[in-house]
Amino acid sequence: MPDSLSQRLQRMIAHSGPICVSHYMAEANAHYYATRDPLGAAGDFTTAPEISQMFGELIGLCLADVWARAGKPEAAYVELGPGRGTLAADALRAMRAAGLSPDLHLVETSPVLRSAQAERVPEAQWHHDLSTLPVDRPLLVVANEFFDALPARQLIRTARGWHQRLVGHDGSRFVPGAGPAVPEAAIPPHLRAAPEGSVIETSPASLAYLRLLAERLAAQGGMALIVDYGHDRTSAGETLQAVRTHAYADPWIEPGESDLTVHVDFEALAGAARESGVQVLGPVSQGKFLTSLGIDARLAALSQTAPARAEEFRVARDHLVAPGEMGRLFRVLALAAPDWPVPEGLA
């Protein structure tokens, strides 16, 4: 029987010493997503597209509206981390009804999820990263709950200053602790005097991905919608969490068997995008965004078409937009090429 990821990481630590949190998170999530479909009632968590078709439809209509106001160029629809392909299917249906029929490109590394996507959108073309996406047309990009799963490193304030946080193993479980010192210049000025024990999370992987995406938009035209949970301003606070069977789990036990995420730092993403010369719009709350796009009108139409499901549709709508549900914590950030129009809901 092959060794588990936990055993492999333990051997690595025993041989070479503690590893950084970003390394631990990258190994855990790579194994996790490669070996299962984590979505839905039988999985570990549920995303907005799985809650209601309204989410994907409104995303699709938003993209189609911007495309039309940009002059209706030939364009490609791109989704980063597309889950089961549910969002893509719903968005494409709405886009086609609005006169937009783009090629479909999915950036996905998991063979399990690629198989699920192929059932819903068999016309898709798959990519491991951004490098093989089309270069001859504008890109209409959606990243829903993508950046939260990219590896993040942690810095912790100790009595001796700021240190990188490393992950060791005490013989029974993985344990985070302070590692090498970090120069104070690497800490945002407004956080340098944070209390002892404070944690700052940064994601170089997210910023690198965002810069590549923004550079493509600046060169080719198009726009991107980034939807995720997180905070508008870089701040201190540990947000690394594990989710398993729709409940919080210990992130330091059984790596690769639960979904590891951190809250997205939208201020950092926006700053990286601006460096590439694209327009940066938002972030705004998911509730405000979907309401501005007309989710209540779509709710009314669905309820009229299928009266027996009206309550189901209403509950789904509330889950997506209510402040106590996904409406406030989830944020929407848009990037647009310099000469492209501003999307509705983000002006």
Asked whether the beta carbons of 92 and 60 are under 8 A apart, the reply is yes
Assign 122 to helix, strand or coil.
coil
DSSP assignment string, 127-192? ESSGGGS-SSS-EEEEEES-GGGS--EEEEEETTEEEEEEEEE-SSSEEEEEEEE--GGGS-GGGT
**In a structure prediction context, what are the per-residue pLDDT tens digits for the chain, which is 347 residues long?**
567 999 999 999 999 999 999 999 999 999 999 999 998 888 889 999 999 999 999 999 999 999 999 999 999 999 999 999 999 999 999 999 999 999 999 999 999 999 999 999 999 999 999 999 999 999 999 999 999 999 999 999 999 999 999 999 998 899 999 999 999 999 999 999 999 999 999 999 999 999 999 999 999 999 999 999 999 999 999 999 999 999 999 999 999 999 999 999 999 999 999 999 999 999 999 999 999 999 999 999 999 999 999 999 999 999 999 999 999 999 999 999 999 999 998 86
Closest CA to 284 of 344, 234, 333, 336: 333
How far separated are the first and last CA of the chain, in Å rounded? 55
What per-residue string of b and e applies to 233-271 under the rule 16 or more CB within 10 Å gives b?
A: ebbbebbbbbbbeeeebebeebbbbbbbbbbbbbbbbbe
Instruction: Say if strands 161-169 and 247-249 run parallel, antiparallel, or are unpaired.
Output: unpaired
Domain positions in the chain: 32-149+218-232+264-336
Q: 90 is written with which tokens?
A: 């719903």
Residue 163, Cβ neighbours under 10 Å: how many? 17
Asked whether the beta carbons of 22 and 55 are under 8 A apart, the reply is no
From the CA atom positions of the chain, what is the Rg in Å?
21
DSSP assignment string, 229-262? EEESS-------EEEETTEEE-TTSSTTSSEEE-
Assign 343 to helix, strand or coil.
coil
Q: What is the amino acid identity at position 98?
A: A
Q: What is the dihedral of CA 152, 158, 162, 168, to 10 degrees?
A: -40
Q: 19 is written with which tokens?
A: 């590893």
**Any idea which residue has 């490193």 for tokens?**
153
Closest CA to 345 of 267, 306, 308, 293: 293
Report d(CA 13, CA 19) in Å as an integer: 7
CATH architecture designation of domain 32-149+218-232+264-336: 3-Layer(aba) Sandwich (3.40)
Report d(CA 220, CA 217) in Å as an integer: 5
67-70: Cβ within 8 A, 24+ apart: 67/100, 67/138, 67/140, 68/98, 68/99, 68/100, 69/341, 70/138, 70/221, 70/340, 70/341
Instruction: Say if strands 199-202 and 153-158 run parallel, antiparallel, or are unpaired.
Output: antiparallel
Report d(CA 83, CA 45) in Å as an integer: 11
Q: 189 is written with which tokens?
A: 């000025």
- Under DSSP, the state recorded for 309 is G
pLDDT score at 1: 56
Q: What share of the chain is helix, strand, coil (3-state, %, to 5)?
A: 40, 25, 35
CA of 188: how far to CAs of 158, 164, 280, in Å? 16, 15, 21
pLDDT score at 299: 97
Phi first, then psi: give them for residue 225, nearest 5 degrees. -115, 120
